[in-house]
Amino acid sequence: MKVIGIETSCDETGVAIYDAEDGLVADLLYSQIDIHKRFGGVVPEMASRDHIRKTLPMISQALEIAGCTKDDIDAIAYTAGPGLVGALLVGASIAKSLAMAWQVPALGIHHMEAHLLAATMTPEPPQYPFVALLVSGGHTQLMECTAHSQYTLLGESVDDAAGEAFDKVAKMLGLGYPGGPEIARLAEQGDRKRFTFPRPMTNKPGLNFSFSGLKTYVLNTVNDIEAVSEQDIADIACAFQDAVVDTIRIKCGRALKQTGLNQLVIAGGVSANKQLREILNRENGFHLYYPAQSLCTDNGAMIAYAGYLRFIKGQADTLDINVRPRWPMNELEAM
């Protein structure tokens, strides 16, 4: 079985083909960063228009790379939500039109479930049940995963997502977008002892996160320095990353204790963070799983794979074009 995956939920067009026997046989990614960076954030209408330009040529290219034709494709998976409504509609319209033309089933995939499942695309995946931390540009959620598609939300950010905080702090420090990799790079040259930033919501019980106050703390620190030097920026980046990573470590530890589970899966863009992986790996009492670096941020591969797991159970949508810009994971169709 070969499944095409189409990702268009935000500012990346991803197209991949997952083969039941050979795994990923094509995996293409195009980022719109150059289009949006001069506006300081994603412009939804421009994102939709660019997905229109890119998706079909990328599908042709993916077929070529995989050495197959449309006749070899058994099913089409696309991101149906959560995300930007216009961008999602582009992927959904293309997926459903191709499904009708090629006479194959199509299925709308939950973007965050796909992020999570990307961490299971390994020879030795975690076995259910486990605790998952989805930590990306738009989400920071701790889940108890008892089976595929059975998720209980344990805690989430009450304001900014962790990735969003990385991006906003990077902007404050005059760094590029996306901010996560930039902060991680500069933090390596920072003096860890110079600043200690707060670990939000860790001194009272609970599994929710908040990164908005930490962001303000960074801003105040920057404003207190007269002429900000490169070393100041590196020191602040280091203290900020330490605070986010430590907060996540504390909350994940609590979630594992509360559920009595001993496996932790981290996924989404921020799970690419080297320090986060190292610190969590050093903790005792649980096994840590994370996706390959290329599968942490948005990609078509995770959509193709998430689709494959549902198609083999016989799931498929009608040809109606429906997307869900907001879509709680506990509302997913059971397997």
Residues that bind Mg ion (CB under 5 A): 136, 298
From 95-103, 254-262, 264-272, 308-316, span contacting ligand ATP (CB under 6 A): 264-272
Contacts with ligand ATP: how many residues (CB under 6 A)?
24
Structure tokens at 172: 């404050």
Q: Specify the DSSP element, H or E, that contains 156.
A: strand 150-156
Task: Kindly state the smallest distance separating residue 221's Cβ from ligand ATP, in Å.
Answer: 19
Nearer to Mg ion, 126 or 300 (CB): 300
Helix 230-259 / helix 274-282 crossing angle, nearest 10 deg: 40
Residue whose structure tokens are 């919501």: 201
Question: By C-alpha distance, which of 164, 272, 269 is closest to 209?
Answer: 164
Q: Specify the DSSP element, H or E, that contains 143.
A: strand 140-147
Running DSSP on this structure, what letter comes out for residue 298? S
- Do 198 and 243 meet the contact criterion of CB atoms below 8 Å apart? yes
Phi, psi of 269 (to 5 degrees): -50, -40
Nearer to ligand ATP, 2 or 115 (CB): 115
Q: Which of 19, 50, 167, 317 binds ligand ATP (CB under 6 A)?
A: 167
Task: Kindly state the smallest distance separating residue 149's Cβ from Mg ion, in Å.
Answer: 18
Angstrom distance (rounded) from CA 226 to CA 264: 43
Phi, psi of 258 (to 5 degrees): -60, -40
Nearer to ligand ATP, 105 or 163 (CB): 163
Q: Which of 273, 290, 301, 311 binds ligand ATP (CB under 6 A)?
A: 273
- Do 308 and 16 meet the contact criterion of CB atoms below 8 Å apart? no
Question: Does residue 269 interact with ligand ATP by CB under 6 A?
Answer: yes
Task: Kindly state the smallest distance separating residue 70's Cβ from ligand ATP, in Å.
Answer: 28
Q: Which of 51, 54, 110, 111 binds ligand ATP (CB under 6 A)?
A: 111
Task: Kindly state the smallest distance separating residue 98's Cβ from ligand ATP, in Å.
Answer: 23
In the bound complex, which residue of the shown chain has the CB atom lying closest to Mg ion?
Answer: 298
Q: Which of 173, 297, 304, 305 binds ligand ATP (CB under 6 A)?
A: 297
Q: How many residues does the chain have?
A: 335
Nearer to ligand ATP, 259 or 273 (CB): 273
Contact partner, 163, from ligand ATP, Mg ion, none, Cβ < 5-8 Å per class: ligand ATP
Angstrom distance (rounded) from CA 278 to CA 283: 9
- For 226, residues 6+ apart whose C-beta sits below 8 A from its C-beta are none
Task: Kindly state the smallest distance separating residue 42's Cβ from ligand ATP, in Å.
Answer: 8
Task: Kindly state the smallest distance separating residue 111's Cβ from ligand ATP, in Å.
Answer: 6
Q: Specify the DSSP element, H or E, that contains 36.
A: helix 33-36
Contact partner, 166, from Mg ion, ligand ATP, none, Cβ < 5-8 Å per class: ligand ATP
Alpha helices in 260-324 (DSSP H): 274-282, 301-311
Residues 179-208 that bind ligand ATP (CB under 6 A): 179-181, 184
Residues that bind ligand ATP in the complex, under the rule CB under 6 A? 10, 83, 111, 115, 136-139, 163-164, 166-167, 178-181, 184, 268-270, 272-273, 297-298
